[in-house]
Structure 1
Amino acid sequence: MSYALYNKMLQSLWMAWETVFERITPLRSVYQSKFGICKIVVRAHRGSSIRFEDGTYVHAGDQVCEIHLDNREVLQLSRAVGADRAAIVTARRLREALKDIGRAVDTDPKLAKAKALTGITLLHRGIIHGLGFELHPLETKWMERISTVYLRLLLRMLNPEGAKRLKQQRSKLIPKMLMMSRASLVNRYASGVKA
């Protein structure tokens, strides 16, 4: 069996797992929606209080919007234009999605209680540069370990060069929490200020 065929089989299995996970997600969320290349899931924040650079706080129980890239779209891009070009296109589409999310958070009653936009990523050195997120360490070592294993596996599945990249940059591929307060999100992406 060729490496390319083996890789496609692994990717298909991963996408099947994601389909199962997407069916479970509504059970643990208040609301979810799709914005371009991103999905958001609104749920209650668990863990310690978080202070943002603008002075606002998120406390346990407050609603937050978790942002997730649509891995199917990222995989299709990677297959169509190659991993390097896919990263550039993904970054551009992410910026467009953030504009839609910012406007929705500002106007949609379903998102009225959301106090922040959050996410976890390995790609904080590149893809999110200049988007306005604050980077925070993950709250516990256990969470960091689980996220590291999951996100490195995801990188391996979605990027044909993923295995090579993992070997070359393993020490840099540490997950971080992306955070943006509601006020920062709206000011940056919904108020007409150039993002």
Structure 2
Amino acid sequence: METLLLWLFYISSLYAFIPGLITRIFGFRVFRRGARDDTFALTFDDGPDSVYTPQLLDLLKRYDAKATFFVVGSNAEKHPDLLKRMHEEGHLIGIHNYVHKTNWFMGPAAVKKQIQKTSKIIQEVTGDKTNYYRPPWGIVNLFDFAKRDDTQIVLWSAMFSDWRERLGADRLTNRMMKKLRGGEVFLLHDCGSTLGANSGAPGEMLVALERVLKEAEKRKLRSIRVDEMIATSESARQRGTRMSSDEKVTPAVPQPLSWTKRCVVSLWLLWEKIFHLVFQLQSANKEDPFLYFRIRPYHGDPVEMIGGIKLCNGDRIMELHFDNKKLFEIGTRSKSSMQLAIKMVRNMEKELPKLAKHVVDHRELHDVKALYGVSMINRGPEKFGFTVTDLQKGWFAKSSQWYLKFLLRVIHPDGNSRVKQSAEQLIPKLIVMPIDYLVKQYLTDGSHRKMAAKQENEEIEEEAVLSTTIPCS
């Protein structure tokens, strides 16, 4: 029963919950914000609509504004004339599934069919193929990431609840004005027939949008297509700058976590607590835990550890998990990668002796053969006595890589850039250490290792100590 619950927990989390967090917090494999000070992007979901889309196109034409329309395939099929007009007037057309249905409740094949069917409709009407995709409600699943070569997922940086008619044009105008600045990607709707929307809401949106476009003219802000914004943003980010209208270069300033991002991080940490509760993780350091563990049988190929000891299928292991809340706090408080690395080393130096003592003091753990974890590192654990080896290829190795990249983005001061720059090197590895070695080396206060650690701190790279373990099958 425990194994079944574990697999259900992994599958649901990896398929839906974790990908959603990744996109919301860090924009992993999605586009949601530009890097120019003089342009913003208007994007419209759920259309085309026979009543409101023509009015919207007229409005955009009057202000010489370009937009991106993420169309629902079934609506596009009914109104090919509007699709053709969007294309002829220079707007970008993207995909919003054939029917407005969340990807969380569809398998990979069903999502692929939705995208392909809508793409075919667009191409038949416009003559152009599109690869820009916004999943309904912005909800992605694990396999949406895998389609990166075929589709560019586009989310947004500003959402206004414009699908609710009772919000009214005045309040909607105020909300939009607050977000009217360079780099923003506005999410709006030109159709009110989807689940949860009001049929008259797009009428209020059109009134508010005209006011916003007038103000944008005064501020010399242009609305551009998403593909243009992506191109200019990539150029700016490669140079590590933000770009203004006269192309003057100004240093990019890291932004603190917003209220929204903090809420999502809180949800992620809540998910961690649920996992700890369900699988009864323990810690050898009750006052200030850094490592958690659970005892389980090892499943996999034999692994030769330090001292020639072999870990074989069925041997009992102590599966390690970091306290991800503490990792997050360490990462956000570290001013540099080196500072983060040093803090990680010091915490491990304190934790391993406590773990060794816990094993010795608990008779039921005396037959445990090894410490076990999964890590996205190259050489750091070897300095503590771990053997590092490849994970068996398969879905677990791939999903582990996605999850560990997510954690790296959370806890690392330069997590986003590290993932982008070192994507090829960030491969999850299996790390194991014989319990006998743990007891022999660390069943003291660890003082015999402190001098070595001090010397190593100056030369150790952050990836050598930034190990992040996850639940293993």
Q: Could you tell me how far apart the structure 1 residues matched to 2:413 and 2:444 are?
A: 39
Partner of 1:112: 366
1:79 corresponds to which of 332, 348, 372: 332
Q: Which moved more, 1:104-113 or 1:145-154?
A: 104-113
Measured at CA, do residues 192 and 161 of structure 1 come closer, stay the same or move farther in structure 2, by a change above 3 Å? closer
Partner of 1:181: 434
Whichever of the two has the greater Rg, that structure is: 2
Measured at CA, do residues 157 and 9 of structure 1 come closer, stay the same or move farther in structure 2, by a change above 3 Å? farther
1:121 corresponds to which of 335, 351, 375: 375
Q: Could you tell me how far apart the structure 2 residues matched to 1:24 and 1:178 are?
A: 24
1:135 aligns with 2:388: yes
Report if the CA contact (8 A) 1:47-1:60 is conserved.
Answer: yes
Report if the CA contact (8 A) 2:331-2:410 is conserved.
Answer: no
Alignment size in residue pairs: 190
1:32 aligns with 2:282: yes
Partner of 1:9: 263
Partner of 1:62: 315
1:23 corresponds to which of 273, 277, 280: 277
Report if the CA contact (8 A) 2:284-2:354 is conserved.
Answer: no
Report if the CA contact (8 A) 1:11-1:158 is conserved.
Answer: no
State the 1:87 CA deviation. Answer: 2.9
Q: Kindly, what percent of the aligned residue pairs are identical?
A: 27
Report if the CA contact (8 A) 2:306-2:433 is conserved.
Answer: no
Q: Could you tell me how far apart the structure 2 residues matched to 1:124 and 1:190 are?
A: 26
Measured at CA, do residues 76 and 3 of structure 1 come closer, stay the same or move farther in structure 2, by a change above 3 Å? closer
Partner of 1:92: 346
2:443 corresponds to which of 176, 190, 193: 190
Q: 1:185 corresponds to which letter in structure 2?
A: L
**Higher relative contact order, structure no. (Cα contacts within 8 Å, ≥ 6 residues apart):** 1
Report if the CA contact (8 A) 1:14-1:157 is conserved.
Answer: no
Summarize the alignment of residues 150-169 of structure 1 with structure 2, pairs less than 5 Å apart: 150-169=403-422
Measured at CA, do residues 82 and 68 of structure 1 come closer, stay the same or move farther in structure 2, by a change above 3 Å? farther
- Which deviations, in whole Å up to 9, do the C-alpha atoms of 1:115-166 show, x marking residues without a partner? 001111113444x352111101112333211110111112122334211110
Partner of 2:355: 101
1:51 aligns with 2:301: no
When the two chains are superposed, the root-mean-square deviation of aligned CA atoms in Å is 2.3
Q: Could you tell me how far apart the structure 2 residues matched to 1:32 and 1:63 are?
A: 16
1:147 corresponds to which of 397, 400, 408: 400
State the 1:60 CA deviation. Answer: 2.1
* 2:271 counterpart SS class: helix
TM-score by length of 1: 0.85
Q: Could you tell me how far apart the structure 2 residues matched to 1:64 and 1:166 are?
A: 30
Q: Could you tell me how far apart the structure 1 residues matched to 2:327 and 2:417 are?
A: 18
State the 1:190 CA deviation. Answer: 1.5
Report if the CA contact (8 A) 1:43-1:64 is conserved.
Answer: yes
Higher fraction of strand: 1
For structure 2, list consecutive stretches of 5 or more residues without a partner in the other structure: 1-157, 159-254, 450-473
Q: 1:23 corresponds to which letter in structure 2?
A: L
TM-score by length of 2: 0.37
Measured at CA, do residues 11 and 123 of structure 1 come closer, stay the same or move farther in structure 2, by a change above 3 Å? farther
Report if the CA contact (8 A) 1:136-1:176 is conserved.
Answer: yes
- Which deviations, in whole Å up to 9, do the C-alpha atoms of 1:6-40 show, x marking residues without a partner? 442332221122122222222xxxx7324331111
